[in-house]
């Protein structure tokens, strides 16, 4: 139990990271709700860490790769620290200093304006619709070489957000403010605005690392004035969803080396019914298709019964239903943890369920190598089961 004031308890509950239940006399029972991250106010610091105490670099790698940002083999660099916020702030400061070390990146930005002279090209359709019969002003578009480009807007927004987090070490906060000052000419992103798109090129190569981290900060972290004008901050992610997204994205890349196509979140009917609303359906995390039909199914489960093996109940029942609905002989249960790969033949069926552990404490290159091994093993099983029996 923890002693909290009412605004802090309300913030914990609204963060989605944990549940704060009042016990009386200002005491609250804090319970996790299946997500990981950190929430902070001037009086509260609450951390929920991933299983196996994964470091920030590994967490950011999973988040970044699951975002399908170019299927990068390199991890998002992060300064490791026991305090997630200190680690994020230090990492962002280091990468931003490296990116801005040679000055602020400039690029071409398309500008639409109304001018009294021709600049760039005239937008004929806008001119006719907005100013019929008028020669001036002219509706024109032109490219301006400026610092006010998507890359700098993303970086400034991430620096602004991290600078609002309460409790950031003064030295790091000073560095963040110095970096913000270099981007004074850049437009601020409005609160709640989507992250503007950017494309990795040779011209913005020095920004790649800091932009990857900035996008993760903007999509997963919030920092704002809460109740009573207190500064609050939260960084909350659903590890079950992150793990599912990561496995699906990495497996689709690995299975591209084999015939067929991997589809994510594949819907299939489990039962027949007169009315569509009465039909039961299943949705494996991934299904590999060959010749227009499913040949193998996959499910990714972040939580397992223990490091020694996956749950022996609900997960396997679910995989059995997937195999039945899809008419496939094998399903692969990928779970986060250590252990040995196990094959379980389901009694009174020809269905195999294979448990495949994925140790997330390994370096990113080793994790991706394991995914490639999963692809190789599962494709080998497809080939084996499809081969005709000897003597036929």
Same domain, 190 and 337: no
Q: Rounded to the nearest 5 degrees, what angle is found at the Cα of 212, between the Cα atoms of 191 and 83?
A: 80
Structure tokens at 95: 């990468």
d(CA 11, CA 225): 11
Q: Are residues 248 and 229 in the same domain?
A: no
Number of domains observed in the structure of the chain: 3
Do 171 and 256 fall into the same domain? no
pLDDT over threshold 60, residue 50: yes
- Asked if the model's pLDDT at residue 78 lies above 80, the reply is no
The DSSP output letter for 309 is B
Q: pLDDT by residue (tens digit) across 110-162? A: 767 776 676 766 776 776 777 776 767 767 676 777 899 999 999 999 999 99
Q: Is the domain of 344 the same as that of 369?
A: yes
Residue at 127 is within a domain: yes
CA distances from 254 to 57, 234, 247, 373 (A): 22, 34, 10, 9
Residues 6 or more apart in contact with residue 370 via CB below 8 angstroms:
358, 359, 362
**Which residue has better confidence, 234 or 184?**
184
Residue 307 has pLDDT above 70, yes or no: no
Q: Are residues 179 and 141 in the same domain?
A: no
> For residue 110, is the peptide bond before it cis, meaning its omega torsion is within 30 degrees of 0?
no
Q: In this predicted structure, what is the pLDDT of residue 310?
A: 46
- Please tell me the pTM assigned to this model: 0.75
Mean pLDDT of the chain: 82
Residue 173 pLDDT greater than 60, yes or no: yes
118 and 195 housed in the same domain: no
| Location of structure tokens 């991290």 | 162
Q: Assess if residue 375 is contained within a domain.
A: yes
Instruction: Tell me the pLDDT band of 236, cut-offs 50, 70 and 90.
Output: confident
Domain range for 293 is: 240-386
311 inside domain: yes
Last residue of a domain, one of 190, 205, 237: 237
Q: Of 208, 237, 266, which marks where a domain is finished?
A: 237
Of the two residues 311 and 351, the one the predictor is more confident about is 351
CA proximity to 19, closest of 4, 9, 6: 9
Same domain (yes/no): 181, 291: no
Same domain, 16 and 95: yes
* CATH, residue 303: 3.40.1350.10
Higher-scoring residue by pLDDT: 264, 230: 264
372 occurs within a structural domain: yes
Within-domain flag for 193: yes
Is residue 391 domain-resident? no
Q: In the prediction, which pLDDT does 70 show? A: 39
112 and 91 housed in the same domain: no
Q: Band of the pLDDT at 387, cuts 50, 70, 90?
A: low
Residues 199-211, mean pLDDT to the nearest whole number? 90
Model confidence at 104: pLDDT above 50: yes
- What is the rounded average pLDDT of the residues 341-368? 90
- Terminal-residue alpha carbon distance, the chain: 68
Regarding whether 332 and 214 lie in a shared domain, the answer is no
Which of 146, 172, 203 corresponds to the end of one domain? Answer: 146
| 392 lies in some domain | no
Task: Based on the fold, state whether residues 100 and 30 are members of the same structural domain.
Answer: yes
308 pLDDT more than 50: no
193 and 90 part of one domain: yes
């Amino acid at each position: 139990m923890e002693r909290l004031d009412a605004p802090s308890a309300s913030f914990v509950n609204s963060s989605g990271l944990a549940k704060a239940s009042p016990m009386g006399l200002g005491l609250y029972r804090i319970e996790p709700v299946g997500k990981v991250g950190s929430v902070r106010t001037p009086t509260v610091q609450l951390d929920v860490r991933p299983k196996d105490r994964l470091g920030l670099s590994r967490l950011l790698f999973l988040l970044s790769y699951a975002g399908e940002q170019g299927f990068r083999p390199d991890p998002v660099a992060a300064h490791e620290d026991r305090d997630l916020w200190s680690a994020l702030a230090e990492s962002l400061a280091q990468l931003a200093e490296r990116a801005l070390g040679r000055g602020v990146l400039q690029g071409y930005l398309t500008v639409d304006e109304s001018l009294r002279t021709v600049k760039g090209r005239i937008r004929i359709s806008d001119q006719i619709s907005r100013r019929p019969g008028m020669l001036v002003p002219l509706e024109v578009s032109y490219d301006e070489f400026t610092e006010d480009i998507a890359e700098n807007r993303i970086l400034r927004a991430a620096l602004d957000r991290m600078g609002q987090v309460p409790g950031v070490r003064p030295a790091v906060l000073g560095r963040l403010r110095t970096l913000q000052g270099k981007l004074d000419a850049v437009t601020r992103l409005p609160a709640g605005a989507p992250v503007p798109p950017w494309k990795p090129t040779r011209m913005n190569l020095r920004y790649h690392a800091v932009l990857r981290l900035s996008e993760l900060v903007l999509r997963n972290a919030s920092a704002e004035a809460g109740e009573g004008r207190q500064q609050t901050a939260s960084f909350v992610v659903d590890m079950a969803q992150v793990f599912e997204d990561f496995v699906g994205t990495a497996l689709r890349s690995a299975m591209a080396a084999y015939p067929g196509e991997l589809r994510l979140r594949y819907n299939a009917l489990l039962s027949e019914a007169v009315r569509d609303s009465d039909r039961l359906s299943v949705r494996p995390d991934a299904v590999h298709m060959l010749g227009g039909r499913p040949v193998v199914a996959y499910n990714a489960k972040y939580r397992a019964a223990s490091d020694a093996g996956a749950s022996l109940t609900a997960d396997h029942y679910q995989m059995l239903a997937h195999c039945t609905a899809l008419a496939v002989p094998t399903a692969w249960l990928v779970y986060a943890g250590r252990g040995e790969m196990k094959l379980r033949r389901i009694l009174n069926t020809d269905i195999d369920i294979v448990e495949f552990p994925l140790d997330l404490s390994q370096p990113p290159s080793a994790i991706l190598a394991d995914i490639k091994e999963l692809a190789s093993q599962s494709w080998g099983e497809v080939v084996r089961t499809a081969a005709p029996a000897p003597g036929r």
